[in-house]
Structure 1
Amino acid sequence: MTPTHMFDLLATLVAIVRVDGVVVFANAALEDVMGLSRRNIEGTPLSGYFTETQAFDNALQGAQTNAFAALRYDAHLRRPNQEPLPVHVIVAPSDRADEVLVELLPLEQQTRQDREERLIDQAQANKELIRNLAHEIKNPLGGIRGAAQLLQMEVESKDLIEYTQVIIHEADRLQVLVDRLLAPHRRPHVVGDVNIHEVCERVRSLILAEFPKGLRVVRDYDTSIPELRGDREQLIQAVLNIVHNAAQALVDRITTGDAQIILRTRINRQVTFSKQRYRLALELHVIDNGPGIPEEIKDRLFFPLVSGRDGGSGLGLNLAQTFVQQHHGLIECDSVVGRTDFKILIPLP
């Protein structure tokens, strides 16, 4: 493989341009976005693909005079039969004096990558926080429960025994919560071939058993999706947590009989997430017609112990995100009043 063709492995749009502005190399990602073959792009002026050419011409002049190490600016990329694409342009000198390297980052992609990086960083920070906090709680909790049991054996008053029973009961409740916090980090990852529609059908049957009236769970499957390598039970739990949250948010519409959840599967091609580009990825959407997610918790949706429902533990979505990330994927959410869409993305082989 030649050095320039190494750029074909990148998700970033890359062109190598002579100082006169003519493209000498365009990578595969640029071909995909432009809808043009490399042969059609190479040998043409790159400035012709921008809606405004002056900024790019100025950047080339600066590269010729070594006026900068790298120049950045925002522009719009002109594409045949498509809307112009907003991009962040980076022009940097090449290792050859008569050429420059041009990177084009779609602004939507850049924004999404930034959001994904934040989600990954948050998830990692949450994981460490949960582990440390759970262990700190777990040790004294056993001592509190044991002391209450010993105290209960010594007292004779029924009123005092009731107090010790409250202590034991609350200690047990906290123990269950701590175990739930630690569960995804303890459980082994059992990998096998998984049919995502079997996962969806299992979740659908569980939800309809719990909510037999007033709720429709609509199937919208792409049956051509291949099996993926993963932990079937973890994926069932992840999807179930999301669907169960949706059903609980629909309680008012379930009462009136018009609640609906859609399970939609699709294939996404040439997709980039978690800083990697994948040829194929699974998109699993869980869409409900509920009231939407409260604005004040949207940015903290996947944090542990954050819930938009009274009495909720705030662990369901956090565990779902953890399980999906263990499959090298992520969960995104788009919510407005009347429509909430949780999208699970997982790479396919």
Structure 2
Amino acid sequence: MNPLVPPSTPAGTTAAGADARNYQALDWLCTLIAVLDAQGAVRFVNAALENALGQSRRTMEASDFALCFAEPALLDKALSGARSNDFAALRFEAGLLRLGQEPLPVHVTVSVVEQVGHVMVEMWPLEQQARQDREERIREQAQANKELIRNLAHEIKNPLGGIRGAAQLLQMDLPTPELREYTTVIVHEADRLQALVDRLLAPHRHPHEVGDVNIHEVCERVRSLVLIEFPQGLRITRDYDISIPEFRGDSAQLIQALLNIVQNAAQALSLRMAQGDAEIILRTRVARQVTLGRQRYRLALELHVIDNGSGVPDAIKERIFYPLVSGRDGGSGLGLTLAQTFVQRHHGLIECESQPGRTDFRILIPLP
């Protein structure tokens, strides 16, 4: 049976009950959907729309759905066109009213359900679309970074070996220690660049070793390492959801990814540490119905690293996951790039929201 073309209502069944049964497949969708009669009265709303509006399906039955919009005339005009068969589908943008919250900006599509005279109103939150577009840009940029790093590292590595070897040969022929100091500098800088190249290539060299991962064991390992490095003035608060199940992954890579983020947070808290009120929060939660890489997952790990530092500088906020971009003097600019690479190997993603006094790095990884 096509769930969008319901049969006639059986005798003894209310219209609302029949609609709820015939359109129940729409409850599986994350899109906000309302099914209306030709006059705009609600016949059915799916679970996603119930959650967005903060109202139950039962309380909305037979109500005028146009009143759920900041500008009811937009939907009224669309319904008028549907009644006169002026279009197959009409699209517009509107504000969806929510209890106790600001209107939710949505993209609306109004279409006629054939055979039964109902109208389907589909709504996509614009903030959700913007988030998906941002995730896609992050993934594309990460892939471009990987190729750039790999090619650049190999291009640097070959001449670097020649420079170092030539400097060592020259050093043996120089007559005085003063002159040999110059070749020592060349060898030292060549070694430093070699170490940088090795770090750039490290994520692509190591195999992905999969096993059972307990995310709280990962968090505790990172917490202990960072507190050893920063023993004074820093508090790392645990806020764990201990019901989160184990999942398949590379524990070492996840430890390194989380360690890079927490170390960055700790280094950004130097002034707060001096005052004795620096804090990092490690928070784990389960997120439901999460889209990652255009794939929908029923459950996902949501791991937050929150600090009370000065925030990410505006000048680099959009580029913090790019290689060699750092907001700290002396920083390599590789920590967050490597963290994003390791998390993406787990089909996940790292996002960042930052303002003075609160920076939140959120790691999302699908759960079984």
Length-normalised TM-score, structure 1: 0.87
For the residues of structure 1 that align with 2:50 and 2:313, how far apart are their CA atoms? 41
Contact 2:261 2:339 in 1 (8 A): yes
1:309 corresponds in structure 2 to 328
1:110 is paired with a residue of what secondary structure? Answer: helix
| C-alpha displacement of 1:234 | 0.9
Larger radius of gyration: 2
- Among 125, 130, 140, the alignment partner of 1:111 is 130
Contact 2:70 2:103 in 1 (8 A): no
1:292-303 map, 5 Å: 292-303=311-322
Contact 1:74 1:86 in 2 (8 A): no
Contact 1:77 1:86 in 2 (8 A): yes
- Among 178, 195, 219, the alignment partner of 2:238 is 219
| C-alpha displacement of 1:287 | 1.6
For the residues of structure 1 that align with 2:85 and 2:149, how far apart are their CA atoms? 50
2:353 is paired with a residue of what secondary structure? Answer: strand
Matched, 1:89 2:90: no
Percent identity (aligned): 67
Structure 2 unaligned regions, length at least 5 = 5-23
Matched, 1:127 2:142: no
Structure 1 residues 124 and 6: CA distance shift in structure 2, 3 A: farther
Contact 2:69 2:94 in 1 (8 A): yes
Amino acid aligned to 2:299: L
| C-alpha displacement of 1:346 | 1.6
2:175 is paired with a residue of what secondary structure? Answer: coil
1:74 is paired with a residue of what secondary structure? Answer: strand
Contact 2:320 2:326 in 1 (8 A): yes
2:348 corresponds in structure 1 to 329
Amino acid aligned to 1:145: R
1:56 is paired with a residue of what secondary structure? Answer: helix
Structure 1 residues 312 and 20: CA distance shift in structure 2, 3 A: same
For the residues of structure 2 that align with 1:270 and 1:82, how far apart are their CA atoms? 24
For the residues of structure 2 that align with 1:6 and 1:150, how far apart are their CA atoms? 75
Amino acid aligned to 1:140: P
Structure 1 residues 296 and 44: CA distance shift in structure 2, 3 A: same
Structure 1 residues 92 and 292: CA distance shift in structure 2, 3 A: same
For the residues of structure 1 that align with 2:159 and 2:273, how far apart are their CA atoms? 43
2:259 corresponds in structure 1 to 240
Larger deviation, residues 127-136 vs 309-318: 127-136
What's the C-alpha RMSD, in Å, of the aligned pairs? Answer: 2.8
2:18 corresponds in structure 1 to none
2:101 is paired with a residue of what secondary structure? Answer: coil
Figure out how many residues of one structure are paired with residues of the other and give that number. 348
| C-alpha displacement of 1:106 | 1.6
2:71 is paired with a residue of what secondary structure? Answer: coil
Contact 1:85 1:106 in 2 (8 A): no
1:160-309 map, 5 Å: 160-309=179-328
| C-alpha displacement of 1:90 | 3.0
For the residues of structure 1 that align with 2:83 and 2:195, how far apart are their CA atoms? 66
| C-alpha displacement of 1:94 | 5.7
| C-alpha displacement of 1:8 | 5.0
For the residues of structure 2 that align with 1:2 and 1:37, how far apart are their CA atoms? 25
For the residues of structure 1 that align with 2:104 and 2:292, how far apart are their CA atoms? 19
For the residues of structure 2 that align with 1:216 and 1:172, how far apart are their CA atoms? 37
Contact 2:89 2:112 in 1 (8 A): no
Structure 1 residues 165 and 272: CA distance shift in structure 2, 3 A: same
Contact 1:70 1:90 in 2 (8 A): no
For the residues of structure 1 that align with 2:358 and 2:267, how far apart are their CA atoms? 14
Contact 1:11 1:276 in 2 (8 A): no
Larger deviation, residues 169-178 vs 2-11: 2-11
Amino acid aligned to 2:239: D
Structure 1 unaligned regions, length at least 5 = none
Q: Deviations over 1:43-86 (max 9, x none)?
A: 7654343343211122234455665675332223345x553641
For the residues of structure 2 that align with 1:120 and 1:324, how far apart are their CA atoms? 11
2:360 is paired with a residue of what secondary structure? Answer: strand
Structure 1 residues 238 and 90: CA distance shift in structure 2, 3 A: same
1:20-99 map, 5 Å: 20-21=39-40, 26-35=45-54, 46-63=65-82, 70-79=89-98, 81-83=99-101, 85-91=103-109, 93=111, 96=114, 98=117
For the residues of structure 2 that align with 1:189 and 1:14, how far apart are their CA atoms? 41
| C-alpha displacement of 1:25 | 5.9
| C-alpha displacement of 1:15 | 4.2
Structure 1 residues 306 and 168: CA distance shift in structure 2, 3 A: same
Structure 1 residues 329 and 28: CA distance shift in structure 2, 3 A: same
For the residues of structure 2 that align with 1:69 and 1:136, how far apart are their CA atoms? 56
| C-alpha displacement of 1:294 | 1.3
| C-alpha displacement of 1:249 | 1.1
Contact 1:207 1:244 in 2 (8 A): yes
Contact 1:91 1:100 in 2 (8 A): no
Matched, 1:158 2:177: yes
For the residues of structure 2 that align with 1:225 and 1:318, how far apart are their CA atoms? 26
For the residues of structure 2 that align with 1:70 and 1:188, how far apart are their CA atoms? 50
